[in-house]
Amino acid sequence: MSKTAWTETCRAMVKAWECDAFEHFTVAFYYERIADAVLNLFDEVEAGPAHALECRHALTPVATVARFEAELLEGDIHHVESGLVGRDGEIVRTGHKLFNSANGRLAAAFTLAHRYLDLDARKAAPMPDSLREAIDSRLVEWDRPPDETRPGPRDESGFIDSGRDTVKPWEVDVLGNLSLPGYLHRFSDANMHVVARFGMTPAYLRENRIGFSTFEFQGRLGRELRVGDRILIRSGLMHVGGSSMRILHRMYSARTRGLCAEFSQYGVHLDLDARRPTRLPEEMRARAAELVCEPGAPGT
> How many residues in total does the chain contain?
300
SS3 label, residue 171 = helix
On whether both 125 and 188 belong to a single domain, the answer is: no
pLDDT at position 122: 87
Question: Cα dihedral sign for 67, 103, 143, 6?
Answer: positive
On whether both 164 and 136 belong to a single domain, the answer is: no
On whether both 102 and 49 belong to a single domain, the answer is: yes
On whether both 92 and 190 belong to a single domain, the answer is: no
Around 44, how many Cα atoms within 13 Å sit in the side-chain half-sphere?
A: 18
On whether both 39 and 111 belong to a single domain, the answer is: yes
Per the CB < 8 A criterion, the answer to whether 178 and 225 are in contact is yes
On whether both 47 and 138 belong to a single domain, the answer is: yes
CATH number of the domain that residue 299 is part of? 3.10.129.10
On whether both 222 and 298 belong to a single domain, the answer is: yes
What span, in angstroms and rounded, lies between the C-alpha atoms of 52 and 56?
A: 5
CB proximity list for 37: less than 8 A, separation 6 or greater:
9, 10, 80, 82, 96
Number of domains present in the structure of the chain: 2
On whether both 202 and 285 belong to a single domain, the answer is: yes
Among 147, 162, 189, give the residue marking a domain's end: 147
C-beta contacts of 129-136 below 8 A and 24+ residues apart: 130/46, 131/45, 131/46, 131/47, 132/87, 134/45, 134/46, 134/47, 135/45, 135/84, 135/87, 135/92, 136/87
On whether both 7 and 139 belong to a single domain, the answer is: yes
Which of 154, 238, 155, 157 has its CA nearest to residue 194? 238
What span, in angstroms and rounded, lies between the C-alpha atoms of 75 and 9?
A: 20
pLDDT at position 1: 47
Dihedral, CA of residue 5, residue 9, residue 13 and residue 19, to nearest 10: -100
On whether both 28 and 65 belong to a single domain, the answer is: yes
C-alpha 261 chain-centroid distance: 11
Phi, psi of 201, rounded to the nearest 5 degrees: -80, 165
pLDDT, one tens digit for every residue, the chain (300 residues): 445 689 999 999 999 999 999 999 999 999 999 999 999 999 999 999 999 889 999 999 999 999 999 999 999 999 999 999 999 999 999 999 999 999 999 999 999 999 999 999 889 999 999 999 999 999 999 999 988 888 899 999 999 999 999 999 999 998 889 999 999 999 999 999 999 999 999 999 999 999 999 999 999 999 899 999 999 999 999 999 999 999 999 999 999 999 999 999 999 999 999 999 999 999 999 999 999 999 886 544
Q: pLDDT digits over 83-122, tens only?
A: 999 999 999 999 999 999 999 999 999 999 999 999 998 8
- Percent helix, percent strand, percent coil in the chain, to nearest 5: 25, 40, 35
pLDDT at position 185: 97
SS3 label, residue 84 = strand
pLDDT at position 300: 43
On whether both 288 and 152 belong to a single domain, the answer is: yes
Per the CB < 8 A criterion, the answer to whether 138 and 5 are in contact is yes
Q: Which residues pair with 262 in a beta bridge?
A: 220, 250
On whether both 120 and 25 belong to a single domain, the answer is: yes
Which residue range is the domain that position 295 belongs to?
A: 148-300
Q: DSSP for 118-156, please give it.
A: ETTTTEE-PPPHHHHHHHHTTBB---SPPPPP-EEES-S
Per the CB < 8 A criterion, the answer to whether 41 and 129 are in contact is no
pLDDT at position 149: 87
